[in-house]
Chains A and B, each alone.
Chain A
Amino acid sequence: MLYKSVINECIKIAAKPRSYLGLAAITILVAVILFALHADGQSFISFVTASFEQTLSFEGSVLNGNLVAFIVLQMLIIHVPLLVALVTGDLISGEAAMGTIRMLATKPITRVQLLLSKFIAGGIYTFGVIVWLGFMALIVGKWMFGIGDLIVLNSDGLVILQVDDIAWRYLGGFAVAYLALLTVASLSICLSCFSENSIGPIVSTMAIIILFTIIGTLDVKIFDQIKPYLFTTHMAAWRSFFEEPLPKAAIYQSIFILLFHNLIFVSVAIFQFKRKDITS
């Protein structure tokens, strides 16, 4: 029954116009970034590399598909959660607002199965979003700008990654980025169980992300102890794949914390949804 319900949920997501809003937004945003880099990318790169030109000489084009994909990811990974929450935050509360939750809950499927099917479908949608983002950033980026070594500027300095050492890093980076987005999806579905309208969970999800991000950036002692445990701290963990040497411990910690948050959100949602009186 879980499998059948997952199919139903996927059909519903695919049929909802709002599901394509996120994909359309990603397409437009990436297109704008690619256009901007195509039109004036060299001066943007020169501005960044100017400080290294006395000690390093660059051969070939620094502005290539790999760098473009990195820039796109860095710019968009903060905004994509909103696009994900737009769909996943509606999965339960949208049904409550429409009245269809009443119909679903009188079918011979357990509430836990019903809820899990929504989490799975939300996860599949999130996967679709990240795949589309990857396609637009990497495939279209490489098609437009060609391939080459990746030069990344991070807090420790400049990291130069060979062209044949990049693909697995993107794979790992996208996997961790997916896990971060999945956490956002889980949070919004969890909040969705407490609401009877779709706006509430979407706004609440974004409010929590903004709040945690602010806590994460504030240099206040009292927050230092909780910062490592906030899921927002690990939303940029995908960047660790582009460091040399690879900070494995930090990556594992991020994966663990994101998975832990997912588990908490799913558990809270199950607890709430199982005992919820459906009065809508």
Chain B
Amino acid sequence: MQEKIISVQHLAKKFGSFEAVKDVSFEVNKGDVFGFLGPNGAGKSTSIRCMLSLIKPDAGSIEIFGKSLDRNRENILARTGSIIEKPDFYKYLSAYKNLELFARISGANSTKNEIYEMLDFVGLRGREKDKVAGFSHGMKQRLGIAQTLLHKPDLIILDEPTTGLDPQGIIEIRNLILQLKSEHNKTVLLSSHNLSEIEIISNRMVIINQGKSIVEGEVKELLNSNDLVVLMELDNVELAMRILKESFQDVEAYIDMQGQLSLNITKERVAQLNKHFVLQGIQVFGIESKRKLEDYFIKMIQA
């Protein structure tokens, strides 16, 4: 049985009459990169803030490292690193001084060398003496990662870590998270709007909507990797639809706005269908597998 790092049960939080979180439950195992998904206003940030004791929940329980957050707050936070939305720093201090300040109250006795190594790790070596006021959003985000990791936490909670980053920055953060899992065996809880990001790097996930957790599990199992959503670009879509109705009745299909054929189909059937279309004289210009999480997410939210 896997060691549970986070166990959230029936979490609820109201702000006045507004119920931000109604009933959120999920569990994160050791070594997971856990995707925390939900549309805007679903209650993701409020749940995360509850996990970091920034917000006091009205109901429910939060256990991290097998201990109640209420009774072991300081012990738990000493083993946790986090970025909530965007990392904010003291603009009038240098990057080095900011890290030194946060390291001091993180319970880590980080040496000068360790701070420099961390700045190196996030690609900010050489900018350590510069005031944060002059940093771009991406640089602040990287500095945020550095302050998150400096005290060598076992659990890392990242709330929208790639918001506002350029594609290069997104790839860098993604690789950094994968590196944390593969090389350092850290447990990561990652909240993101970017579904493809979650699909690529998470092994488990929970989807929450309107303050409630609606589905939780292994990403592969939930998305059932054998079922694909495929787009086919053909010269005669109408003929293709007729063939599908006659010979491939198990395949769900429709013609999308771009005139492409969209199919819900298994891997094996893609090859068969392609061969059949060609034999029927239909020219196949392209076959593209769509990101499935997007469809799954929308299906879950709409349900």
Contact = CB atoms under 8 A, between A and B. Distances in A.
Nearest to B91: A98
Contact of B92 (A4, A15, A104, A110): A15
Interface string A172-211: 0000000000000000000000000000000000000000
A99 B88 contact: yes
A279 interface: yes
Contacts, number: 81
A77 B101 CA distance: 34
Contacts of A16: 92
B107 interface: yes
B49 A278 contact: yes
Interface residues of B, number: 32
Interface in B7-52: 15, 49, 52
B77 A106 contact: yes
Contacts of A108: 73-78, 105-107
A73 B57 CA distance: 51
B192 interface: no
Contacts of B15: 277, 279
Given A106-B53, A108-B75, A4 B88 contact: no
A105 interface: yes
Interface string A14-51: 01110000000000000000000000000000000000
A274 to B, nearest CB: 9
B55 interface: yes
A217 interface: no
Query: In this complex, which of B74, B87, B88 has the most chain A Cβ atoms within 10 angstroms of its Cβ?
Result: B88
B90 A98 contact: yes
A278 B55 contact: yes
Given A110-B74, A279-B55, A17 B92 contact: yes
A106 B82 contact: yes
A103 B76 CA distance: 15
Given A102-B84, A106-B52, A109-B74, A7 B104 contact: yes
Interface string B89-107: 1111100010001101111
A1 interface: yes
Interface of A: 1, 4-5, 7-8, 11-12, 15-17, 98-100, 102-110, 275, 277-279
30 contacts: A4-B105, A5-B104, A11-B93, A11-B97, A11-B101, A12-B90, A15-B90, A15-B92, A15-B93, A15-B97, A16-B92, A17-B92, A98-B88, A98-B90, A102-B54, A102-B84, A103-B87, A104-B105, A105-B54, A106-B77, A106-B80, A106-B84, A107-B106, A108-B73, A108-B77, A108-B105, A108-B107, A110-B73, A278-B54, A279-B15
